[in-house]
Amino acid sequence: MQIIKPWVEVPAIDGIKLMKNLERAAKQCYRTQGNIKDDSYDHFLRNCINRGHESVLEHEKITVRLKCDIGAYKDLTRHRHASFSIESTRYCNYSKEKFGNEIAFIEPCNMETDAVYEMWKNCMENIEQCYIKMAKEGALPDQLRMILPHSTAAEVVMTANIREWRHLLSLRADSHTHPSIQQLMIPLLLYFKKEMPALFDAVPYNEQFDSKKYAEIKLI
Ligand SMILES: Cc1cc2nc3c(=O)[nH]c(=O)nc-3n(C[C@H](O)[C@H](O)[C@H](O)COP(=O)(O)OP(=O)(O)OC[C@H]3O[C@@H](n4cnc5c(N)ncnc54)[C@H](O)[C@@H]3O)c2cc1C
């Protein structure tokens, strides 16, 4: 059994280029591409957002790769304008050599007491033992997946346009969502804020969430 931490792999974003592309596309509405200056994208895009002229944000998209638990991707896949490719529990057989003959679980970030954490860990160990035993009895991944818990680690590729990222992050970096989602979405939002301030400055997040629990952001 492996207990691992979640992470988000993000392409190094050229935020200025992306924002300038959006400005150029949006200025088609007014045929004012001729007014574009080196820094005009910032004021222009903030104005578009303030006025609700948000369809212009759909001209650029960002793809990320996540290592997260099943519970987290269950929540993310509710967002209908985002696209997903997710490791299949029907095809991946964790009892095979390729997966090290073991199941990987995401370390929970919301179990503050040792006793509760130990109970969770025992439970995951029992599940893994049953999974391996069932596989030895000939159970197929379709059957094996029936006993996988929310904590099971999975890899997810996720793409959304800038409009959907703003919407999704405003919901999923909020304190009302599960900690395992905040853990992933808050550091991602902070990265987007740094690289594309005109687009993400106004997106709120739970500032009380413990930054020591943030998932690692891996730039590629
Ligand atoms: C704190 C929290 C708790 C939640 N609890 C539950 C729960 O207990 N049970 C549960 O089932 N879900 C729950 N959800 C999921 C939630 O109801 C939404 O399904 C999910 O957040 C996707 O958001 P969305 O519908 O705004 O957006 P997206 O699918 O990301 O769509 C973006 C926007 O497009 C528009 N849109 C998309 N599709 C339609 C449509 N068919 N008709 C009209 N407009 C549309 C809407 O304006 C929408 O806001 C919860 C979400 C949060 C954040």
The region that residue 185 occupies, defined by phi over 0 for left and psi between -120 and 50 for alpha, beta otherwise, is: alpha
Q: Which domain holds residue 184?
A: 1-13+61-220
What rounded mean pLDDT belongs to the chain? 97
DSSP characters over 103-122: -EEEPPSS--SHHHHHHHHH
> Does residue 80 sit within a domain?
yes
Q: Is 215 exposed, middle or buried (0-12, 13-18, 19+ CB in 10 A)?
A: buried
pLDDT of residue 112: 86
**51 Cβ below 6 A of ligand 1:** no
| Number of compact structural domains in the chain | 1
> Does residue 30 sit within a domain?
no
> Does residue 41 sit within a domain?
no
HSE (CB half, 13 Å, CA atoms) of 51? 10
Q: What is the pLDDT of residues 110-123, one digit of tens each?
A: 998 999 999 999 99
**111 Cβ below 6 A of ligand 1:** no
pLDDT at 40 over 90: yes
Q: What is the arithmetic mean of pLDDT over 151-170? A: 98
pLDDT of residue 47: 97
CATH code, domain carrying 79: 3.30.1360.170
Q: What is the arithmetic mean of pLDDT over 190-214? A: 98
Q: What is the pLDDT of residues 101-110, one digit of tens each?
A: 999 999 999 9
pTM reported for the whole predicted model: 0.96
**79 Cβ below 6 A of ligand 1:** yes
> Does residue 51 sit within a domain?
no
Percentage, residues of the chain above pLDDT 70 = 100
> Does residue 31 sit within a domain?
no
In degrees, to the nearest 5, what angle opens at C-alpha 168 toward C-alphas 167 and 173?
110
Q: Quote the ligand 1 centre to 193 CA distance (angstroms).
A: 23
pLDDT at 133 over 90: yes
> Does residue 182 sit within a domain?
yes
Q: Quote the ligand 1 centre to 170 CA distance (angstroms).
A: 12
pLDDT at 73 over 90: yes
